[in-house]
Structure 1
Amino acid sequence: MVNVIGLGYIGLPTALMLATHGVEVVGTDYNKELVSQLNAGEITFEEEGLYDLFVNAISKGIKFSTEYISTMVYIVAVPTPYDKNSKKIDACYVIQAVKNVMEVCPKGAIVIIESTVSPGTIDKFVRPIVEANGFVIGEDIHLVHAPERIIPGNMVYELKHNSRTIGSDSKAIGERVKELYSSFCEGEIVVTDIRTAEMTKVVENTFRDINIAYANELAKICHSDNMDVYEIIRIANKHPRVNILSPGPGVGGHCISVDPWFLVGDYPGLANIILAARKINDSMPEYVLERIHDIMKEKGIKDVSRVGLYGLTYKEDVDDVRESPTLQMLRCMERHLASGVKVYDPWVKKDIVENQYHDFDEFLNNVDIVVILVAHSEIKEKMYKLKGKIILDTRNICDLEGRYRL
């Protein structure tokens, strides 16, 4: 039996995937409402293919509980935020989960940390907890780091097909965990040591953050001198060894916008390019606000309530709003005592901000400027409805005449 700890964006799909491939699974979460919802047959977030996977896992006997189970394998998939002052990882959820596991686990158990952590986190925070409970690591308890490598919007597919990294003190234990993940994972599974596994995951997301920052800085440079950044990137990418990403309104989600800070916090003075990239990407929501201000001034619009922000999630066609550029923009406006913009997102069903609309047509009827912040399929299909509006397209998906871009 495997006890999966944490039933959020990573833990739930992982638990379901294991269960549908013949592994006995109990999913545990401290959130009683979430567990009750799952036990009532309802999934807790929208994701393509997730409900079918959920139904299949239920038929295979998966269970959900607020209690930790005594078993031989634990997968810890809890959040790992960072301290915005020190820029270091806040490992409180991992620490608490491991403490709870130590209270119920038998000798010989394998504790797998799936949560993304900074290099050295398991040495600094997890090993001391195990030892404080009287266990000998490598004999009584085996520690493994198997960082997740999936993205909202394509989770089910990526869980099955993406390669995985297994970090372990022991090659033999690493191979045992590899066999467990091989029950569903068709990608290559690499076994290495724990610190390498920790570093590899953070490096992957940091690489993407730096590439995005380069595109965003290009956008600022090109706009300052009246050049088309999209045309420049398109031509530059024809070079066989160049692959510049597209600029955007900022970086959200719980990976790219968070993980690079772990390196900045842990290696001050060394992570210079990484720090610069983080600052560039974090500056983009405010840059978009500046662009909105300039467009309002050009068009003679003084009432900010005539501005509509399309999109609240951090990426297209998901309901995940963690660290979304739109929310970053709204927080920035609050700091400057500005408010009143209209907001709409077809994927966010509950009100989470002021002036949030749930009908696209009603939203459009109440704004003059539409700022496209997320490239949801809906707006691509209904772009014709934006005719006559002033459009700031931060995602480069609109081909209507007169639209503004980054």
Structure 2
Amino acid sequence: MNSNLNNTPTANRVHIAFYGKRNSGKSSVINAITGQTVSIVSEVAGTTTDPVYKAMEISGIGPCMLIDTAGFDDVGELGQIRVQKTEGVLEKTDIAVLLFSETDMEQELQWYEQLLSKNTPVVTVISKSDEKENLLEIEEAVKKNTDTEPILVSAKTGDGISLLMEELIKKVPDDFERESITRDLIQEGETVLLVMPQDIQAPKGRLILPQVQVLRELLDKKCLVMSVTTDKLEEALACMKEAPKLIITDSQVFKTVYESKPAESKLTSFSMLYAAYKGDIDYYKEGAKVIDTLTENSKVLIAECCSHAPLKEDIGREKLPRMLRNKIGENLTVDVVSGMDFGTNLEQYDLIIQCGACMFNRKYVMSRIGQAMEKQIPMSNYGVVLAYLSGILENVSI
């Protein structure tokens, strides 16, 4: 069993989405690629309703997520809901496979332009190539309208599947293999102290995902790592022969750790590491400065990725709103959205605060940042805001 396949989080996989009309062969092509029945295949149009996700590992790409979407020509009230869900997948697509099945390709071309507008690499495919009498006509139309060489694919015979796989490998964005989460903040053999309070938000018996991923990366870098809860910080520092090169903390205890850390130790937080890894750290830093201009008439949107029941002392739903209101005024409006929700009327907000986004891929986080930039709305991040409110942002390493 491939440990990389099983252990790689969804957010760190290349997201490859398949788009096309109902019954265009999307599900069959995915099944042919995976060699498994990932999606139900039927001659009945509209068999795929909600997007179907399949974690895979493709040689040359590595861990990836294949996404089978509903046909974008779906009709009726339910059909429109399905199309909306397909549109939602656009924001997280790293590579798109666009299936053409007939000479009437107005809708396909609209989606093609939409994908290009999001800087998404597109592989054009003519599906069910073994069944089409007008294959040459369709092929010429795709070439003319997209300036691409479509791949002729038959899920039934297997023709074209290997060519499709080769093209997917070529289309992996150059910046997908981004720098590490900890970047150049720490090197092999250097000491790192992780301060990880295990509060009510931490799953019982487990660490939260950012802690796990950072710890694994530090071990891969051959760093010397010590992990403690906040109440053991002083003891940990006292038993270390030398001050740690880097301290990574939960953002909620930023000020406590900052006041106790050795002067020579660099300090950052898990959330800030993810702010730089998944998003635009400079934009986040500028966004945090807007806090000083907010009034009780201002509105703030807090966007968290995890969809969970509200917990006592939840950072996004309770701690951040309380800290902001303590600084600005009790009448400050703070709205919270979670999961894929991001709001349809962003113009009403004076500031957006995004969580670390460990559950989203970079493409989706950057799409949110793009929406904020387009509407000229300042945007920041949990860790950046907490550091700013604690008065230590300029002293934190990012």
Pairwise same-fold verdict (TM > 0.5): no
Q: Which has the higher contact order (CA 8 A, sep 6+)?
A: 2
Q: Scaled by the length of structure 1, what TM-score is found? A: 0.31
Structure number with the higher strand fraction is: 2
